Amino acid sequence: MTHVLDELHWRGLVAQSTDEAALRSALAEGPVTYYAGFDPTAQSLHVGHMVQLLNMRRLQLAGHRPLALVGGATGLIGDPRPTTERSMQSRDVVAGWVDRIRAQIEPFLDFEGPAAARMVNNLDWTGSMSAIDFLRDVGKHYRVGTMLGKDIVARRLHSDEGISYTEFSYQVLQGMDFRELYERHGCTLQLGGNDQWGNLLSGVELIRKADGASVHALTSPLITKADGTKMGKSEGGAVWLDPELTSPYAFYQFWLNTADADVVRYLKVFTFRSREEIEALEGEVAERPFAREAQRALAGDLTTLVHGQGATDAVIAASQALFGRGELQGLDAGTLGAAVAELPRTTAKAGDLVVDALVGSGLVPSKAAARRAIAEGGAYVNNAKVESEDAALRTEDLLHGRYAVLRRGKRTLAVAMAE
């Protein structure tokens, strides 16, 4: 059986480890309790967070016990950003975000059985702690010189913004989290992104100094595109796990649009497909890149994982229907609205001429061009060919009372929308 660390290495998910040989032995000897933390600094997690969520799941499938920490305390402060201070949110807002993020984490882990996951909140052990207790019991183990040497702190110190004592202290709070989970649950491993290495070491050192024990930290590389830019951003900003912020359709399309140069690596990082399956898809990329089989596998797996099989089926049906390979009338309003969200658009109402809608949407440059497209049989409303140059939009053409999908030829789309 493949050691879970070997699996993580093959998938490109190991960047740094405190003592990999010792960690390898610990993982081989018996169940290890481990954790990863997620701060509620926004109302949703985004696709970048999925790396640690999936790493947690991989370790759980190997028989180890996960603790998923949602930082109700650290979320009130926020991990220092490279350039500027975070805007602090109210306690009520952060508490609401904690609940939302917990709900997003839960589907990734199994909360039953011998390796059952547990949700934890660091507000439980920091909320009642006094400043004196914090300084005496935790702060005495930290040396300011070491804290100043952390990469993110050093960068902020030399920036125009500087760094507040609040954000400077974040590494102490994260170190305290690891110690609390070590003492409460026997947690001996923390997972994180490579940009969190200094914060992970904070907990390792605190436990060594305060408890005389040796624990582990393991980071994953930050996932980038082949061109070196950050993965996880679309033209509209972050790609969120919350369907209200990033629709399942947009989520699917984000992964479907993965470049050939990135897709095999993303299949390793973000899916549970086997080596054999991924190698077969790698062959498809090399031999039939136009088919985009690897991208379809990636998009389907991740949309199902985050939003469920029903959402994936609806998204695929919408994609096919837009180009005439399915019934637009059968799509629900949310899926159809998401599918046409990025299309060129014009406003229209029942009774408006299709010619005017085609011109208004930019599908054709002029009424003469619109009439010519209709005469040649190349203009469609909701996949139905427009038969007459005098055709008008009907009430029933406005799907869900709002959308009429316009198409010129096989692949050029726009939407007419009721005001």
Cα distances (Å, whole numbers) of residue 193 to 98, 220, 221, 226, 409: 20, 5, 6, 19, 46
Contact at 8 Å (CB) between 272 and 225?
no
Residue type, 366: S
| 182 marked as binding residue | no
Tell me the HSE value of 42 on the side-chain side, using a 13 A CA sphere. 11
Cα(37)–Cα(121) distance, integer angstroms: 9
380 is in an annotated binding site: no
Asked if residues 45 and 104 have their Cβ atoms less than 8 Å apart, the reply is: yes
CA separation for the pair 177, 39 (Å, rounded) = 12
Which tokens go with 367? Answer: 């009424």
**Cα angle for residues 305, 306, 309 (degrees, 5° grid):** 60
- Give Cα separations from 262 to 15, 225, 256, 266, 274 (angstroms): 18, 6, 11, 6, 17
- What radius of gyration, in Å, describes the C-alpha atoms of the chain? 26
Residues 220, 54: Cα–Cα separation, whole Å: 11
403 annotated as ligand-binding: no
Widest Cα–Cα separation across the chain: 84
Strand partners for 205? none
- Comparing CA positions, the residue from 253, 252, 254 lying closest to residue 311 is 252
Q: Which residue has the tokens 């692949």?
A: 411
| 170 marked as binding residue | yes
Three-class SS of residue 389? Answer: coil
Dihedral sign (CA 369, 370, 373, 379): positive
Residue numbering of the annotated binding site for L-tyrosine = 35, 170, 174
Binding-site residues for ATP, please?
A: 233
| Residue stretches of the annotated binding site | 35, 170, 174, 233
